[in-house]
Structure 1
Amino acid sequence: MIQILDSEKEQVISVKIEGNITKKDIQKIHPLIHNIRNNGMKVRWYFELEDFTGYDLKGLWQDLKVDAAHFDDYGKMAMVGDKKWQELAAEATDFFTGSEVRFFEPHQKDQAKQWINN
């Protein structure tokens, strides 16, 4: 499930992710991407991963389609989590995309928010 959080900056999409991501979750995020791009800005992401277990099949497919369509529209990404695999995923995302991606532990949440908003 994706819960949309308040953001300080209009180009930042802040979300809390718990459990599984579904197609419906991705569909509620997609218009936010378009709103930011329509204002001529790159999309910045702030993710709080809490008990994130992955995707259902339709959610994964929908996310891959959205990311492929908006690959060049993404800027900085801050990932807050407490699992080693989440840190590795952040490193892989940083390596394979043009985005600057940083991983933060839960006690560094304020630092992550400050970084993504600057």
Structure 2
Amino acid sequence: MVQILNTKKDNLISAKISGKISKNDVEKIHPLIHDIVDKGKKVDFYFEMEDFHGYELEGLWADLKVDSAHISDYGKMAFVGEKKWQEWAAKATDFFTSSEVKYFDLKDKEQAKTWIGQ
């Protein structure tokens, strides 16, 4: 499940993620990406993962399609989590993008918010 969080930064998508990401969850975020890109800005992300278990198959496929279409539109990404595999996933994301990607432990979420400019 993806819960969009309020933010003052107009090019930041901030969300709390738990459970498994579905296709509907990805469809919530995609128009937000377009709104930012249409303003001529890079999209920054803050994802706080708590009790997160990955993707449903359709959610993964939808996310891959969105990311492949917008990968050059992404700026900074802050992944905040509680599991070692989430840190590895953030490092993999950093490898495949030109974005600046950082992983923070859940206990360091205030540091992540400062880094992303939330």
The TM-score bracket by the shorter chain reads over 0.9
Aligned counterparts of 1:20 and 1:84: Cα–Cα separation in 2: 17
Cα distance, 1:57 vs. partner? Answer: 1.1
Residue in structure 1 matched with residue 107 of structure 2 by the alignment:
107
Residue in structure 2 matched with residue 93 of structure 1 by the alignment:
93
Structure 2 counterparts to residues 8-87 of structure 1, below 5 A: 8-87=8-87
Calculate the TM-score normalised by the size of structure 1.
Answer: 0.96
Aligned counterparts of 1:33 and 1:43: Cα–Cα separation in 2: 7
Aligned counterparts of 1:55 and 1:92: Cα–Cα separation in 2: 16
Aligned counterparts of 2:87 and 2:39: Cα–Cα separation in 1: 31
Cα distance, 1:76 vs. partner? Answer: 0.4
Q: For the Cα contact (< 8 Å) 1:104–1:112, is it kept in 2?
A: yes
Cα distance, 1:92 vs. partner? Answer: 1.2
**What do residues 31-74 of structure 1 show as CA deviations (whole Å, max 9, x unaligned)?**
00000000110000000001111111111111111001101000
State, as a whole percentage, how many aligned pairs show the same letter.
63
Cα distance, 1:96 vs. partner? Answer: 1.6
Aligned counterparts of 2:92 and 2:57: Cα–Cα separation in 1: 21
> Letter of the aligned partner of 1:4 in structure 2?
I
Cα distance, 1:88 vs. partner? Answer: 0.9
- Give the paired residue count: 118
Cα distance, 1:106 vs. partner? Answer: 1.2
Calculate the TM-score normalised by the size of structure 2.
Answer: 0.96
Name whichever of 86-95 and 25-34 sits farther off.
86-95
> Letter of the aligned partner of 2:34 in structure 1?
H
Aligned counterparts of 1:69 and 1:90: Cα–Cα separation in 2: 19
Instruction: Classify the secondary structure of the residue corresponding to 1:40.
Output: coil
Instruction: Classify the secondary structure of the residue corresponding to 1:53.
Output: strand
Residue in structure 1 matched with residue 3 of structure 2 by the alignment:
3
